[in-house]
Structure 1
Amino acid sequence: MQVVIAQVAASGLALDSEQGQRRIAEGFIAWLAGGASDVGAQTRAVLTSARKAGGDPLAAIRDAARAVHERTGQSAGNGSLMRTGVVGLAFLDGGAEALHRTREAARSISGLTHYDDLTADACVLWSVGVRQAVLHDTPGLWRFHGVRNAVSFLPAERRAQWTAWLDEAQAKPPHAFQPNGFVVTALQAAWSAIWHTKIPTDDPEAHFRLALHAAVRAGDDTDTVAAIAGALLGAAWGRTAIPGEWQRAIHGWPGLNADGLADLTNRITLAGD
């Protein structure tokens, strides 16, 4: 699903536009119809309903997400946070306006499948964190502080709660946040893994690998927690930090290898110029 978002961003369509989000909705629905595996229950329910509804895919997917939330009262899963990292690459140029567009794109793209406000908040924090990690070559763990800075972009009534949740993640080890199918505990597990992993002075880029190991060892929904952490770690340290054997093993949908993903990333940044 993150590749779908990346392809739309690379095409030149703005992620905060109706046209761009309609293309994303089409891509999500086609991805599921094409035989996607290991799809979360909530995402599958939304996309299946949207596909059956037909018509405008953007309207259909929004309606389906709202209906699932209203029916179950539980739509704060970790799935939209898992795919949000690429949103942070779409608006690298510019100051306050680019930050605003990053925030709005993260919130609305999250809402395509996850209607709950907490999922949108989490995606704002992480997308802004990714953007800052790419743009700011600050020392040590400060390069990740875009996540904490982004709390000020959230609705005022939830800022104190998110600050407390981040503080808790910095005070406890990653495995303390189980189960982590809930978007808040998934973000806390990823943030804890990054925060508690020391950056080696002789090889700072090794932090990427070590922190991902910590994310996986958090347990429970390990692939999702690692994907969340990996987006921010990759933004901070770059491709050179990814071990060669990991890159050679990549065979992502739809058949993209590491070079293909790197090319897609480059096209996103060029499209945003």
Structure 2
Amino acid sequence: MLDKILGGLFGVAIGDALGATTEFMSQKEIEAEHGIVKDIIGGGCWDVQPGETTDDTAMTIAVAKGIITNFEDPIEDIGRQFLLWKNTNPIDIGITIRVVFKHFEGNWFEAAKRAHDILDGRSAGNGSLMRCLPVALAYYEIYKMEQISVAQSKMTHFDDLASEACIIYNRIAHRLLRNDDLKTSILAEIKNTRYEKISSLKPDCPADGFVVNSMKWALYWLLNYVSFEEVVIGATNIGGDSDTIAAIAGGLKGLEVGYNNLPNHYKNKILDKEQLADLANQLFEIRERETNA
């Protein structure tokens, strides 16, 4: 179980660090400048250091810390972690979350609704999906897991499309933590949903920050490629919102294969590796405690 939890968190960070190099680039631009990005090399639009991660990993860490602080009702503590992160002046904050921060006056859900209105109803970004995995890692009871998945999404993303994606994603993760097969888990959880028709054909949509499109691309890589490297490299080199799509896909694939099977040349480059390992151990302890209660 600990190996899986470590694999999930490191999978997010590795995908994020890889994709940060190609974020907002087109496939043609990536090919012209890099050929194929296969390693964590930094650079990109944010000029990150090799192994430096972006908001995807930072907000995942924030969610994990909030859960660890207050397992029973983590939302306010997750929010405090969001604000602590914001106050570090991070290089990248998503549009929806930036608007929520601007209008936050003590109630996250009210701020999310206000942001939704200000953005003319366009609050279905992928910013809550990219950070939701710690919920599945900590909560083994599926009703509680779904409840917290929705709540952490609604803190910043009012649109139901965002929370729907978080539930599907974390239900897949829940199955993987029971040692179910990844492809079988995905197909079971996307049945009778808007994602049901994901196939061997690349999605007919841009690889952008709209949560439905991001989810479709992540599922495409997960369903059609076998190794962790193939999944995150594929997502990285499609461009667009590549860091988030690679992080989303990397989280589930890392959860499936486990930390010990992740490539060392990726794991060792992650600058936040000590913090991620510590959080994984704390989430594992919580899960063990709750499972045996």
1:134 positional shift: 2.0
1:229 positional shift: 0.2
Structure holding more helix per residue: 1
State the alpha-carbon separation in 2 of the partners of residues 2 and 77 from structure 1: 16
State the alpha-carbon separation in 2 of the partners of residues 260 and 244 from structure 1: 17
Q: Say whether residues 1:84 and 2:132 are aligned partners.
A: yes
1:241 corresponding residue in structure 2: 261
1:166 positional shift: 3.2
> Is the CA contact (8 Å cut-off) linking 1:28 and 1:47 kept in structure 2?
no
State the alpha-carbon separation in 1 of the partners of residues 234 and 209 from structure 2: 17
Q: Say whether residues 1:33 and 2:57 are aligned partners.
A: no
State the alpha-carbon separation in 1 of the partners of residues 128 and 176 from structure 2: 20
State the alpha-carbon separation in 1 of the partners of residues 268 and 149 from structure 2: 30
In structure 2, give the amino acid aligned to 1:117.
Answer: D
State the alpha-carbon separation in 1 of the partners of residues 209 and 249 from structure 2: 15
Unaligned runs of 5+ in 2: 1-58
1:101 positional shift: 1.0
Structure 1 ranges of 4+ moved more than 4 A: none
SS in 2 for 1:79: coil
What is the aligned-residue RMSD (CA, Å)?
1.8
TM-score in terms of structure 2 length: 0.73
Provide, for residues 54-80 of structure 1, a one-character-per-residue CA deviation record: whole Å limited to 9, x for no partner.
Answer: xxx4x2x21110011123211001111
2:178 corresponding residue in structure 1: 135
Q: Say whether residues 1:230 and 2:230 are aligned partners.
A: no
Kindly tell me: are residues 239 and 224 of structure 1, through their superposed partners in 2, closer, same or farther at Cα, counting changes over 3 Å?
Answer: same
TM-score in terms of structure 1 length: 0.78
Provide, for residues 36-57 of structure 1, a one-character-per-residue CA deviation record: whole Å limited to 9, x for no partner.
Answer: 121111111101221xx2xxx4
Number of aligned residue pairs: give it: 229
1:33 positional shift: 1.8
Q: Say whether residues 1:172 and 2:191 are aligned partners.
A: no
Provide, for residues 139-171 of structure 1, a one-character-per-residue CA deviation record: whole Å limited to 9, x for no partner.
Answer: xxx3343344345xxxxxxx7442xx232x224
1:270 corresponding residue in structure 2: 285
Map of 1:2-13 to 2, 5 A cutoff? 2-11=60-69, 13=71
> Is the CA contact (8 Å cut-off) linking 2:221 and 2:231 kept in structure 1?
yes
Q: Say whether residues 1:111 and 2:154 are aligned partners.
A: yes
Unaligned runs of 5+ in 1: 93-97, 152-158, 200-206
State the alpha-carbon separation in 2 of the partners of residues 130 and 10 from structure 1: 19
1:155 corresponding residue in structure 2: none
Percent identity (aligned) = 26
In structure 2, give the amino acid aligned to 1:7.
Answer: K
State the alpha-carbon separation in 2 of the partners of residues 130 and 119 from structure 1: 17
In structure 2, give the amino acid aligned to 1:194.
Answer: L
Q: 1 or 2 for the larger relative contact order (CA 8 Å, sep ≥6)?
A: 2
